[in-house]
Amino acid sequence: MTISDKTDLFGLFAYEIAELITPFGLKPYRGKQIAEWLYKHNVHQFDAMTNLSKEQRSRLAENFAITEVTLKAKQHSADGQTSKFLLAFSDDMAVETVLMRHSYGNSVCVSTQVGCAMGCAFCASTLTGLVRNLTGGEILAQVLYITELLKLQDQKVDSIVIMGSGEPLANYDNVLRFIRLVHEAYSLNLGYRNITLSTSGLVMAMDKLAAEGLPITLSISLHAPNNVLRSRLMPVNNRYPLEQVLAAGNRYAEATGRRITYEYTLIAGVNDQPVHAKELAAILKGRLANVNLIPINPVPERGLLRPELSEINRFEQILKKEHINVTVRREMGADIAAACGQLRHKVCQSDG
Ligand code: SAH
């Protein structure tokens, strides 16, 4: 990406930076030093890169740029555990990034696209369609923004969930660049096992991801135990029906040894009845799988409501009785519109 005529270094690997700077008289090892300034120290001015000579710094500034994100809006949940940030990039496009403070560490939920093309019936991210893909650097910038905030409290980002706005596997190359960049020693050095990617079930890309050999956790958004209901909630099911998605989940689990998480958003009167729980248990039986039940964050535009607590518990108990590993997502940030795309939708609605 370029800003005016300058090449942006943010989002590049150290070896790529090295290739770009050597024609300007800098040694290749400087690539890693610059990457450390960008990704470890969050420095966005060449002038502050003090292990380079003044002359080198000004030559870099003449020829290269470093993009930054700017904060457009933020919300904190009443319990202080969840904070949501609307972050804007150089073209003023904005996405949501969420910080969740769990007892086991700090988790960041990143967005991978501005808007989304998948058209799921219950999701606010897709209300105005896909605007554009984010670059690897733009996804990483969200994590680094939160890292800087946490540094002030002597804390760090412990895990990343790729579960914000967008379908990550529809932006495959940029998302993979992000995953590899955040793992680099000159960046956050985050273990692949601390990264979870959530997909609506793009089967071909799931197989491609399994072949990368990265031990990241795969979450699959199921939301229905049969094709009729799933197609109603998730149009992608017409392209990749349930049985193909489950088969790809099995292949991913076999290839990586990692248990799949199946996400199931509970919607009152739609997919939360005992018959659905039994059907779900039947299709998941014998698979290396966890089920994560997510009581829906109501999207008023769609008229979809959250089940009563007793219905949620009943659904959970049926799965347990059938020996399915199940957890109910702890209420986090429902009071701050933490569901995908809800803050952006609210803030950006007036922009059209
Ligand atoms: N596109 C990817 C990742 C982004 S959505 C995917 O579909 O998995 C992350 C998760 O939030 C998905 O399981 C999605 O179905 C769920 N989700 C979206 N809107 C929601 C809402 N209003 N309430 C609860 N969960 C929601």
Residue 163 has pLDDT above 60, yes or no: yes
Could you identify the residue written with the tokens 């039940």? 293
Q: Give bridge partners of residue 88 from the DSSP assignment.
A: 70, 94
The band of 332, judged by pLDDT with boundaries at 50, 70 and 90, is low
CA of 109 to the centre of ligand 1 (A): 12
The residue-averaged pLDDT of 7-14 equals: 97
Residue 130 has pLDDT above 70, yes or no: yes
| pLDDT on residue 335 | 61
Express as a percent the part of the chain with pLDDT over 70.
Answer: 92
CATH class of segment(s) 3-65 = mainly alpha
The band of 232, judged by pLDDT with boundaries at 50, 70 and 90, is very high
Domain boundaries, the chain: 3-65, 70-351
Contacts of 143 (CB under 8 A, 6+ apart): 97, 108, 110, 157, 160, 182, 188
Distance CA 183, CA 252 (A): 21
CB 36 within 8 A of CB 189: no
Q: pTM of the full predicted structure? A: 0.94
The residue-averaged pLDDT of 142-169 equals: 97
Residue 292 three-state SS: strand
CB 245 within 8 A of CB 283: no
pLDDT digits (tens, 9 = 90+) for 31-58: 999 999 999 999 999 999 999 999 999 9
The band of 347, judged by pLDDT with boundaries at 50, 70 and 90, is low
Measured in degrees and rounded to the nearest 5, phi and psi for residue 5 equal -105, 10
Q: Which atom of ligand 1 is nearest to the CA of 123?
A: 19
- Min mean pLDDT across 137-141, 233-237, 293-297 is at 293-297
Closest residue by Cα to residue 265 from 170, 345, 163, 336? 163
CA of 200 to the centre of ligand 1 (A): 8
Catalytic residues: 96, 340
Residue 324 has pLDDT above 80, yes or no: yes
Distance CA 68, CA 297 (A): 31
Residue 17 three-state SS: helix
CATH code of 70-351, in short, is 3.20.20.70
Hey, whose CA ends up nearest to atom 13 of ligand 1? Answer: 221
